[in-house]
Amino acid sequence: MCGRYAFLLPPEAMIALFKVLNEVDYPPRYNITPTQPIIAIVERQGRRTAELFRWGLVPGWVKDPREFSLLINARAETMADKPSFRDAVRNSRCVVPATGYFEWMKGTDGVRRPYYITSNETETMAFAGLYSTWAGPNGEEVDTVCIVTVDPNLEISGVYDRMPAILRGQAAIDGWLNTRDVDIRGAVGLAVSPPQGTMTYHPVGKAVGRADAEGPELIAPLTAEQAAEEAQSARPRKKAAGGSQLDLFG
């Protein structure tokens, strides 16, 4: 699962790296969470643009999004067969650029904490994504997106059992976005785990767990002092003596 990520690429660099035809005014973000607006790159009739989408895909056939599960990820192995994703796999594939992402894991000290995961190959990763436009009964439209996930490679398997599908190289990005010439089978073949040795990670502070947290300190490696403080706060507290009333109402 990929439920938090960071995106630090300047707008002008987006044009050079992903060959889009426009700029999107989007500040550096260190803690992007589901339901927030995110940048995704789409290609329509040969024109590649960067656009804002709501993270959490809602298929067009959904009547009421409030009664529909929030789909922030799609499993690559089953996306072509699932009603929620199969139309998007065929017609509405996109790229979600990211600098790094977060997963939680229990450390050697027994404390469960977040880890920040990045690529050894590039400063900006291209996550495979799917998008859909939901149209409401009153004419409102919401562009929504999810991130495709795959089995982890060797180094990430020690952190979590899923990871984003990373499109490595311009040919993979071009193929994923080209829904006219690359069919479902070809697209599924592009959504694969990166090779061993291409990813790295380090523990970070628990502040990233707050949806309102933001700033470069969220991706900074955890210091020994921070780790000790978190381990101390994670220890179970002893119940106060004095009987059940004190335990219940204290």
Kindly give the confidence (pLDDT) of every residue in the chain, 250 residues in length, as a single tens digit, with 9 standing for 90 and above. Answer: 789 999 999 988 999 999 999 989 899 999 999 999 999 999 998 899 999 999 999 998 998 888 888 899 999 999 999 999 999 999 999 999 999 999 999 877 778 899 999 999 999 999 999 999 998 888 788 999 999 999 999 999 999 999 999 999 999 999 999 999 999 999 999 999 999 999 999 999 999 999 999 999 999 999 888 888 877 776 655 544 443 332 222 2
Q: Which residues pair with 55 in a beta bridge?
A: 145
* CA dist., res. 249 & res. 36, Å (int): 39
Chain centroid offset of residue 15 CA: 21
Question: Closest Cα to residue 113, out of 204, 200, 5, 221?
Answer: 204
CATH code of the domain containing 32: 3.90.1680.10
CB atoms within 10 A of CB 222: 18
Asked if residue 204 lies in contact with residue 114, where contact means CB atoms within 8 angstroms, the answer is: yes
| C-alpha dihedral sign at 201, 204, 208, 209 | positive
Q: Is 63 helix (H, G, I), strand (E, B) or coil?
A: coil
Amino acid of residue 26:
Y
pLDDT tens digits along 114-133: 999 999 999 999 999 999 99
Cα 211-116-72 angle, rounded to 5 deg: 50
Which pLDDT value is given to residue 248?
A: 25
The pair of three-digit structure tokens given for residue 77, joined into one six-digit string? 């192995």
Q: Is 195 exposed, middle or buried (0-12, 13-18, 19+ CB in 10 A)?
A: exposed
Please report the pLDDT score of residue 241 as a whole number: 45
Do the beta carbons of residue 56 and residue 71 sit within 8 Å?
yes
How many whole angstroms separate alpha carbon 167 and alpha carbon 198?
Answer: 12
Residue 202, CA distances (Å) to 159, 221, 222, 248 in order: 10, 6, 8, 40
**Residue numbers of the domain that contains 206:** 5-249
The total domain count for the chain is 1
pLDDT score recorded for residue 245? 33
Which distant-in-sequence residues (6+ apart) come within 8 Å of 205 by Cβ? 113, 114, 217, 218, 220, 222, 226, 230
